[in-house]
Structure 1
């Protein structure tokens, strides 16, 4: 479970984020995203200390990067994060922007076959590009889509975040006892579950990600085996114009054992991130081991 954070620091951070996300909504969508991206990169990110987290993670996983390359990555990662948040806070604008976008990649045939057969699907992804863009395209393609989400640690910001998750097309299940029960019902009726599997899970096992040990959940792979779901990675990759996305469906991950399946996902996800390093949310404490400072 995510530990809720309250107090002056989280409250001030929430006020800043709320201002950054709500005030630009009077701007046209195509202007709003770069404006919020700039603000995230130059104001909110440094004030919240996110730039320090990015530097720490890059020093661990990419020690060959020069100081100038790291600085450039800080700004680019925070800029993409700002764009993502602006898209989430834009209501149906992202959903409408994605209309007409086609699924691509080597796994599309398997994905479509599972839908036709009413076979449950677990579509795995991570904090990369904008996972909500993938969810929008899956909904528009006729998949009965539900998303499992982890509440934000900032209790004040989480209230707004939940509204955005639950207000999107499809269903959203909070990572809680009640949410997990609803999620299982959704799978049993042949639905698609969209889930992000790139955060640290202290109750998981130590697998590899970017050449480093990373605590990784096995629960979703175990669920895939239990309910015989298609277990398939889907990634939303932001295009150069900063507004649109390629939605790429990888080949399904074979049903073997949970550790092998999750290591395969980590490897596939790492390969995607390495192609677009600035689109990964390098802010998470992905490699922190349980009990470490």
Structure 2
């Protein structure tokens, strides 16, 4: 659990404020610009700034393992695109309410006919997506379709940053469930007829070693487990950037699994990993890969 701001030692409280201040100023400036201009400004800033940060070593290592056939220059170009996309997404947080506005044309949503039938029947589903393009928008797109949705999120270690993020996310129309000990809450939500949403392309300490880009990677199997255990469809949702400040969210056909046995859960999780990999290979510069994804040391 994160420490409460008022109970933490004063040096930590001071550090939290110091970390949150530049982000708050960045968001205040971004809010003054139209969404496309804010995204373009954030993109340009982080395309320059990102490679200078310590996170660059994670980006570089992940791309090296995912694309060993590429040369250093090609991977460096992808890394700059990764930072560019991250900067655009960061600048768009103050504008999530504008994407949610009725008639907003900046967010286009497509729903596969098979999934549309399930939604029209009122069936709850397990929606799963990856950290691609703006990964916050699938939740908004589903909420705009009238789907009651509980989304899992990872609270930030800095409570001030976490509070600012959650204020921006309130425009998405979802309920948010902290990642810690979320399975019980998600099971209750599905039983009550609510759908759930998860981001499951990143490394987890509580998963299984499954292939990802041809290498074993710790992978969350909770999406497949929840869907098979509760008899709910597992529906992939893909966000893609069309232009700065403009997106398309595609709600795809459900992935069909065999049974809720361990073998069935792992098989469905492998299919989901393969699907995420295909998305990333199409648009590698739109993938958030700033955390260690595969085992192994990263040189400082």
Q: How high is the TM-score relative to the length of structure 1?
A: 0.86
- For residue 254 of structure 1, what is the aligned residue in structure 2? 256
**Which of 252, 259, 267 does residue 274 from structure 2 map onto?**
267
| DSSP-derived class of the 2:21 partner | helix
- For residue 202 of structure 2, what is the aligned residue in structure 1? 199
**1:162 offset after TM fit, Å?**
2.9
- For residue 138 of structure 1, what is the aligned residue in structure 2? 142
**Which of 47, 68, 79 does residue 74 from structure 1 map onto?**
79
Whether the aligned pair in 2 keeps the contact of 1:53 and 1:284 (CA below 8 Å) is: yes
- For residue 31 of structure 1, what is the aligned residue in structure 2? 37
**Which of 154, 166, 179 does residue 175 from structure 1 map onto?**
179
**Which of 169, 172, 193 does residue 190 from structure 1 map onto?**
193
Whether the aligned pair in 2 keeps the contact of 1:21 and 1:36 (CA below 8 Å) is: no
Measured in 1, the distance between the counterparts of 2:291 and 2:214 equals: 17
> Which structure has the greater CA radius of gyration?
2
Q: 1:281 to 1:267 in 2, by over 3 A?
A: same
Measured in 1, the distance between the counterparts of 2:68 and 2:168 equals: 37
Measured in 2, the distance between the counterparts of 1:84 and 1:165 equals: 13
**Which of 106, 110, 114 does residue 104 from structure 1 map onto?**
110
Mapping of residues 208-287 of structure 1, within 5 Å:
208-239=211-242, 241-256=243-258, 257-287=264-294
Q: How many residues align?
A: 286
Deviations 1:135-161 (A, max 9, x none): 222222222222111223455422322
> RMSD of the alignment, in Å?
2.9
| DSSP-derived class of the 1:131 partner | coil
**1:47 offset after TM fit, Å?**
4.6
**1:18 offset after TM fit, Å?**
2.8
**Which of 121, 125, 128 does residue 124 from structure 1 map onto?**
128
Whether the aligned pair in 2 keeps the contact of 1:98 and 1:136 (CA below 8 Å) is: no
- 5+ residue gaps, structure 1, are none
1:22 and 2:28 are equivalent in the alignment: yes
**Which of 159, 163, 166 does residue 167 from structure 2 map onto?**
163
**Which of 67, 78, 87 does residue 92 from structure 2 map onto?**
87
Whether the aligned pair in 1 keeps the contact of 2:143 and 2:172 (CA below 8 Å) is: no
